[in-house]
Chains A and B, each alone.
Chain A
Amino acid sequence: MLEALTDALSLALDPSVLLFVALGILLGITLGAIPGLSGDMAIALLLPTVFYLEPASALGLLVGIYKGGMFGGSISGITFGVPGTPGAAATTIDGYQAKLKGKPNRALHTALYSSVAGDTSSDLILIFIALPLAAVALKFGPVEFFALYAFSLLLISALTRGQLAKGVAACALGILLSMIGRDPIGGSLRMTFGIPELAGGLSLIPVLVGIFAVSELIVQVSKAWAAKSRAIVEDAKEKSNMFSDYDAAADKLPFRDFLKLWKATAIGTGTGTLIGALPGAGSSLAAFISYGLAQRFSRSGDEFGKGSMEGVASAEAGNSATSGSTLIPLFAFGIPGSATAALFGAAFILMGMTPGPNMVRDHSDVIYALFIILVYANMVNLLMGKVLLPYYSKMSMVQPRILLPIVFCLAIFGTYAAGNSFVDVWVLLGAGLLGVVLRLYGFPLAPLILGFIVGPGAERALRQSLLIGGEWSYLFSSPIAIGFYVTALGLILLFTLLLRNKA
């Protein structure tokens, strides 16, 4: 054990490995910040490097990309209101509001710190208590998953400002959009309107980037156009400088201010770690649930949606805390629980290791090295983030007339590159149009995405349960499921009572 550990240390702390980790993080942050492109795509792209590189270097590169990408998605979310990755959608809600209020740097730093905090805790859990958590994850069958998904629908109200009816409708619309394509149980086509390309359904990236990012871009372009025609843009103000005045010094986040967000960060970390360990649930769901729970338990829950740093911290910690735990089913049982885990599984296989419990036993040096890399890569991420963030904050202040066309083109080709799919591009633009209409008529967008993420999983789990159990009572056959329902009921009662008291 000790020998394996020293071997692993010398592998992991090799300067070349460090260099690859840093390179990966830089690539990850940059690609993650481009809407549509994500860490997953970059990992798939660089998978062949495992043929050329030493195992530790290759893993360092992939881990770096993954961690960088997780955080990178929030950068564009906060600075432009255009989430770069699905996981960053929840961070965008408050992050972008904070930027509009002139605090991009504060929001970015909150995101960075909470991302690193969530990620590190999740990695430590992967390293030290993977097996017990994996055993819990295996207990999640269709019945338990349905309860989890049903529970997460409670969050509609946390994600809605204004009329709850519109939030519910947006969520229902998201569920409907997710039902397009082949019915996963019976195999028949639904709502494809005779278009064969829709048989496979809509993918998450184009829908999410379209609804959130493209619609935001359209609204901003419309504003920029109006400003131009009203000749509000004064030439003198532009000077030769592309940057308008922005004083980064006035927008700092002292670390002790971040510490005040410990509760939101802890909620995000716990939720993210648990959801990440469940095969198939995903980081965007983790971020939304963290955000919803943090709002429920916050003293200033009213601030959520208006640029609350707690909102940023909980969502980002929830998103990043999936990163270590998503590997738990892979290490414990060889089950890839997410697209990222599948890619890491592929990397292990290409290196001649079979994912599963034997991997840790048979290749302890490489796996321990990976564990060490997972942890210190977070520190590298923190350092590089600290160095880069001032520039990103400044970039967010670049004049929209220059930036908007570039971001729009990046979103189109980024989405195309993520799945090499023409259909995805049409879906992206269609979703953008839909997003604009919904915004204009006062519908919140986050519940739509929640419905889109939860819909297929909930349907599959419910119908699987009914197929296995044969009757509805089977849904209450599991203590975990009952636990979810009771908690949900309790939360509803608690908050209706609280509301009544306030009123």
Chain B
Amino acid sequence: MSSMLRNPLRYQDFYVGLVMIAIAAAGLLDIAYGNWRTGQTMGPQAFPQVAYIAIMMAGGLVSANTCIGKYDARQEEIVSVLMTAVVMVSGGVLLFLLAGRLGFTVTLALALMAGSSLLTQAPLRHWKTTILLPIMAAVIMYFLFVQLIRIPLPGGLLF
């Protein structure tokens, strides 16, 4: 019974459960008051409604479980992984937008150089893999995507 005495507020999963409940509640409110076309035997809202209810119940269970000592351990590197995610996703958006404006091969080569340089210690000393290889890879991808598959991206300013 000692586990019952645990303070759930100390555990991440307690809050994860609360967030799940909140999200599901928002969704259910949207279905109840939002612009949904309802009224048929089974309308378009039925499946989302069931899904929200499932999430809400699961959230309740996840929160409750922390009280009896069942929870997932908090991952140490949460902040750094999330930071990486934000950087990479914005990098991806930038890369894709620039590829159609600046030119596919140039953008790609630059992106690959930047990427491998950031991950390499003393990038200049390893110029073969941080400069030469990215350029080669960009050229190969140019042949694959632009010449062979012919993706309909605009040509862009440069090559």
Q: Known: A176-B51, A226-B80. Is A429-B95 also a contact (CB below 8 A)?
A: no
CB B149 to nearest CB in A, in angstroms, measures 5
Does A190 lie at the interface of the complex (its beta carbon under 8 Å from any beta carbon of B)? yes
Given A173-B55, A179-B48, A404-B115, 12 extra CB contacts under 8 A: A172-B51, A173-B51, A183-B37, A214-B88, A215-B85, A219-B81, A222-B77, A242-B129, A405-B114, A429-B89, A436-B82, A463-B42
Task: Using known A-B contacts A226-B80, A433-B89, determine if residue A169 contacts B58 with beta carbons closer than 8 Å.
Answer: yes
Complex contact B85–A409 (CB within 8 A): no
A412 touches B96 (CB 8 A): yes
- Determine if A503 is an interface residue (Cβ-Cβ < 8 Å): no
A70-78, A95-103, A115-123, A230-238: which lies at the interface: A230-238
Q: Find A221's partner among B51, B84, B125 (CB 8 Å cutoff).
A: B84
Q: Of B45, B119, B145, which contacts A225 at CB under 8 A? A: B119
Chain B CB within 8 A of A359 CB = no
Could you jot down 7 A-B contacts, CB within 8 Å? A179-B51, A188-B44, A218-B81, A401-B119, A408-B115, A432-B92, A440-B75
Closest 10 CB pairs of A and B: A405-B115, A442-B72, A401-B119, A183-B44, A169-B58, A222-B84, A172-B54, A165-B61, A172-B51, A165-B58
- Chain A residues lying within 8 Å of B151, measured Cβ to Cβ, are 413, 416-417, 420
A166 touches B119 (CB 8 A): no
- Complex CA gap A168/B141 in Å reads 40
Within 8 A of B (CB), among A441-472: 441-442, 451, 455, 458-459, 462-463, 466-467
- Choose from A163, A169, A235, A467 the contact partner of B72 (Cβ within 8 Å): A163
Cβ B37 vs Cβ A165 within 8 A: no
Decide yes or no whether B118 CB sits under 8 A from chain A. Answer: yes
What is the minimal beta-carbon distance from A82 to any residue of chain B, in angstroms? Answer: 14
Check B89–A432 contact: CB distance below 8 A.
yes
Q: Is there contact, CB below 8 Å, between B95 and A228?
A: no
Cα of A172 to Cα of B59 in the assembled complex, Å: 12
Partner of B54, one of A163, A168, A429: A168
Distance between B129 CB and nearest chain A CB, rounded to angstroms: 5
Residue of B with least CB distance to A37: B149
For the A-B complex, the count of residue pairs with Cβ-Cβ distances under 8 Å equals 188
A172 in contact with B52 (CB, 8 Å): yes
Q: Are A169 and B85 in contact (CB under 8 A)?
A: no
Q: Which of A41, A242, A406, A458 gathers the greatest number of chain B CB atoms within 10 Å? A: A406
Contacts A163-B62, A166-B58, A432-B85 hold; do A176 and B48 have CB atoms under 8 A apart? yes
In the complex, what residues of A have CB within 8 A of residue B116's CB? 401-402, 405
Taken together as a complex, chains A and B put the C-alpha atoms of A490 and B132 apart, in Å, by 60
Chain B window 28-66, contacts with chain A (Cβ cutoff 8 Å), 1 for yes, 0 for no:
000000001100111111111011101101110110010
Pairwise interchain contact B58-A409, C-beta atoms closer than 8 A? no
Chain B residues with CB under 8 Å of A171's CB are: 54
User: CB distance B48 to A441 under 8 Å?
Assistant: no
A436 CA / B83 CA spacing, docked (Å) = 11
Is B126 among interface residues, defined by CB-CB distance under 8 A? yes
Contact partner, A176, options B27, B62, B70, Cβ 8 Å? B27
Question: Which residues of chain B come closer than 8 Å to A165, judged between CB atoms?
Answer: 57-59, 61-62, 65
Residues on B with C-beta less than 8 A from A410 are 141
Q: Smallest Cβ distance from B151 to chain A, in angstroms? A: 5
Contact A186 B43 (CB under 8 A): yes
> Is B157 at the interface (CB under 8 A from chain A)?
no
Most chain B beta-carbon neighbours within 10 Å: one of A218, A402, A429, A433: A402
A429 to B99, CA, bound (A): 16
Residues of A within 8 A of B (CB): 37, 41, 45, 162-163, 165-166, 168-169, 171-173, 175-176, 179, 183, 185-186, 188, 190-191, 214-215, 217-219, 221-222, 224-226, 228, 231, 233, 235, 238, 242, 399-402, 404-406, 408-410, 412-413, 416-417, 420, 422, 425-426, 428-430, 432-433, 436-437, 440-442, 451, 455, 458-459, 462-463, 466-467
Q: At the interface, yes or no: B102 with Cβ under 8 Å from chain A?
A: no
B67-107 vs A, Cβ < 8 Å mask (1 yes, 0 no): 00010100101101111111011001101100100000000
Q: How far is the CA of A163 from the CA of B115 in the complex (A)?
A: 36
Q: List the A side residues contacting B99 at CB < 8 Å.
A: 413
Known: A225-B119, A242-B129, A420-B152. A405 touches B54 (CB 8 A): no
Chain A contacts of B129 at CB under 8 A? 242, 399, 401-402
CA distance A420 to B152 in the complex (A): 7
Shortest beta-carbon distance from B49 to chain A in Å: 10
Q: Of B50, B119, B122, B126, which one neighbours A400 at CB under 8 angstroms? A: B119
Asked if A429 contacts B93 (CB within 8 A), the reply is: yes
Query: Nearest Cβ distance between residue B133 and chain A, in whole angstroms?
Result: 6
Q: From B41, B46, B82, B118, give the contact of A440 (CB < 8 A).
A: B82
Evaluate contact between A218 and B48: CB separation under 8 angstroms.
no
Set of chain A residues within 8 Å of B153, measured between Cβ atoms = 416
Q: Within 8 Å CB of B47, what residues of A? A: 175, 179, 455, 458-459
- Most chain A CB inside 10 Å of its own CB: which residue of B58, B99, B115: B58
**Distance between A231 CB and nearest chain B CB, rounded to angstroms:** 7
Name the CB-closest residue of A to B148: A45
Does B42 contact A218, Cβ atoms closer than 8 Å? no
Which residues of B are found within 8 Å of A413, using beta-carbon distances? 99, 141, 145, 151
A159 to chain B: closest CB distance in Å? Answer: 15
Give the docked Cα–Cα distance between A420 and B133 (Å).
Answer: 27
